[in-house]
Amino acid sequence: MSPFLLTRTLPEDATEAALRADVQHGLSRTPKSLPPKWFYDAHGSELFERITELPEYYPTRAEREILLDRAADIAAATGARTLVELGSGSSEKTRFLLDALTGLRLYVPVDVSESALTQAGHALIAERPALDVHALIADFTAAMTLPDTPGPRLLAFLGGTVGNLLPAERAAFLSGVRALLSPGDALLLGTDLVKDETVLVRAYDDAAGVTAAFNKNVLTVVNRELGADFDPGAFDHVALWDAGAEWIEMRLRSRTEQTVKVRALGLAVDFAPGEELRTEISAKFRREGVRSELAAAGLELAHWWTDREERFALSLSVVG
């Protein structure tokens, strides 16, 4: 095969259709909400890269530490010949796995962004001429089919992104992942761990205001793509810890009574003073909870690794 192959499994207009459906549904319900995937246009992705470098935002550093320390153990436990990464983005942390997986023949990054896949794929091939990359434009939260690839396969879902899914969505996602795996394949899952509330809230409400700008970027995306007239300055960034659900919520709180029009949908949305629009949940996990959720999907937790401060975990489940 060619060193770089790109396959599209989403229709050309799938992103626009999904945005329209999410905005229609999310702004017409009570309480209002928008999915966090709409943060990530080019500017939003730049802002998130800045977030990962902030002193308050520990997850990226903690996960990188685990990968650096444990990549050889992951390689030994899996013997993977194919690495599949969901939500691959820039594939920056993936390089630790690529270096350790000495028998690897193929890397399959999966993302909704064609530009991110192309840029990251060509960069990896330039660094590793022997590596084949088969990029897949797909939505990993929907039904998905992987290309025919040599096994055993290691499917990686890093960054704690699984925490952005509600419990029922996580259950459906993990069951879908299990259906993709064959005996000998493995799932490497990144999960942020429950910890002190102050540490958690600071990670999502940094002193420099970068996360606030990132949160408000979803309004800019809706304005640009659907002709809405949100005024980002009319909303405040809110991050709070829900101790019962054990997740962080990011919200946008309306400063005043206002009506927002979304021209492409013929929609007028009223906000009361102080009314909040939820833009993200980020669930935090405990080891036994992760084990239980994996087991419910037919996956058995085989290895559990944390960073030295036990802030973040990578779990490995091998299919028997």
Query: Is the pLDDT at 1 greater than 60, yes or no?
Result: no
Residue 88: band (very low, low, confident or very high) from pLDDT cuts 50, 70, 90: confident
Q: What is the pLDDT of residue 141?
A: 83
pLDDT digits (tens, 9 = 90+) for 242-276: 999 999 999 999 999 999 999 999 999 999 999 99
Q: What is the pLDDT of residue 73?
A: 98
Residue 63 CB burial class (10 angstroms; 0-12, 13-18, ≥19): buried
Residue 15: band (very low, low, confident or very high) from pLDDT cuts 50, 70, 90: confident
Written as one string, the DSSP assignment of 91-102 is -TTHHHHHHH-T
How many C-beta neighbours within 10 Å does residue 56 have? 17
Look up residue 132 and give its two tokens. 């084949």
Residue 91: band (very low, low, confident or very high) from pLDDT cuts 50, 70, 90: confident
- Confirm if 217 and 38 have CB atoms less than 8 A apart: no
Q: Break the chain into its structural domains and give their ranges.
A: 1-227+285-320
| CATH class as words, domain 1-227+285-320 | alpha beta
Axis-axis angle for helices 167-180, 287-296 (nearest 10): 60
How confident is the model over 46-64, as a mean pLDDT? 96
For CA atoms 229, 46, 254, 20, give the dihedral sign.
positive
pLDDT digits (tens, 9 = 90+) for 289-303: 999 999 999 999 999
Residue 111: band (very low, low, confident or very high) from pLDDT cuts 50, 70, 90: confident
Mean pLDDT value across the chain: 95
- The percentage of the chain sitting over the pLDDT mark of 70, rounded to a whole number, equals 99
